[in-house]
Amino acid sequence: MKSSLKDIENAKKRITPYINETPILTSSLLNTWLGHEIFFKAECFQKIGAFKARGACNTLAWLLERGERPDHIVANSSGNHSQAVAYAASQFKIPATIFMPNYSSQVKISATQSYGAKVVLCESRDIADEKVREAAEQDGAYWIPPYNHEQVVCGQGTAVYEALTDLQDIDAVFAPCGGGGLLSGSLIASRGLSPSTKVIGVEPLNANDAAESLRSGTIQHLNEVPDTLADGAMTMAVGNVTFEYLKQLDEFYEIEEDYLIYWTQWLTHLLKCRIEPTCAMPMEAIRRWLRTQKTKQRVLMVISGGNIDQQTTNKIWERNCLETTPSLFE
């Protein structure tokens, strides 16, 4: 692996002044119902409401440490990465411009602007991608990508690093897979701190480019924008940096949409957190994995974020899943 535990430790030191050490939550009811112990690292309480603040802050702090202070930060995203870069740039007092597709939710646009970034709304994601590429070529500009960058990966890995420093004897770590940044960083942290702990990735079945890539051995691209509630896992393909890490995962699960809705409702109810469908998804993988285990397991799951707009909230709560109590067996 290109990055190691040492790089995650360095990232943790760099970003400590700028990020929250998020709490680890448990539900005694859920543990009773499933007969195992499940710990949730609640990155919904991270700055900007998602783990992405870690990678953006680490990348900027790393540049400054090397004496390479950019004059101007640029990024492209419709989601949490836009807020993360805006937040990080504001912490280091560097101007930032974020290129966002004009269909981005108003809530995320407002938050990005509130952190002091200039938002340029573009007619499509492709145009945003093109504009950021042009902007990045200007003198003094630095483009922080959403996942395909060693320092972004190491920043994201600090979440699992914190959790495995606090918790002993964790049997498995589960995290969702979009571009693979969080999962790659989680793998590096886990292998370094606790080599026998399994690291397991989870993706929506409707957006399973990473699973297809792992099966074929080469990076596969989705052909069209996928139909999934897990907007954090809609990335069209993983990157060459993250794919090298993803190949070393112990297992990988693909989850149907109905289960995303079921667990978003239940984890919201039990943990009293705002939880994105992307982040609730690994819970179904945990349930399936626990069914194959013969002894009581201690499992860590990363709740990667809590930014949901009103339309998605409505889709999640259309029908009532809270009448069916979670159980290991159906």
93 contacts its own copies (rule: CB under 8 A): no
How crowded is residue 143: how many other Cβ atoms within 10 Å of its Cβ? Answer: 17
> What are the angstrom distances between the C-alpha of 143 and each of 98, 230, 297?
10, 25, 42
Rounded to whole angstroms, the Cα distance separating 140 from 137 reads 9
134 contacts its own copies (rule: CB under 8 A): no
* CB of 119 or CB of 207, closer to its own copies: 119
The DSSP output letter for 186 is: H
139 contacts its own copies (rule: CB under 8 A): no
269 contacts its own copies (rule: CB under 8 A): yes
Backbone dihedral region for residue 46 (phi beyond 0: left; psi -120 to 50: alpha; all else: beta): beta
Residue 251 token pair: 């297992």
Rounded to whole angstroms, the Cα distance separating 84 from 192 reads 26
> What are the angstrom distances between the C-alpha of 39 and each of 89, 174, 178?
32, 10, 22
Q: What is the CA radius of gyration of the chain?
A: 19
110 contacts its own copies (rule: CB under 8 A): yes
* CB of 20 or CB of 138, closer to its own copies: 20
Residues 37, 298 contacting (CB under 8 angstroms): yes
Q: How far is the CB of 303 from its own copies (least distance, A)?
A: 10
| Residue selected from 11, 57, 75, 111 as contacting its own copies according to rule CB under 8 A | 111
114 contacts its own copies (rule: CB under 8 A): yes
Q: How far is the CB of 24 from its own copies (least distance, A)?
A: 12
71 contacts its own copies (rule: CB under 8 A): no
- The one segment of 102-110, 153-161, 182-190, 282-290 that binds its own copies by CB under 8 A: 102-110
272 contacts its own copies (rule: CB under 8 A): yes
* CB of 63 or CB of 321, closer to its own copies: 321
Residues that bind its own copies (CB under 8 A): 23, 29, 32, 44-45, 49, 105-107, 110-111, 114, 265, 268-269, 271-274, 306-311, 313-314, 317-323, 325
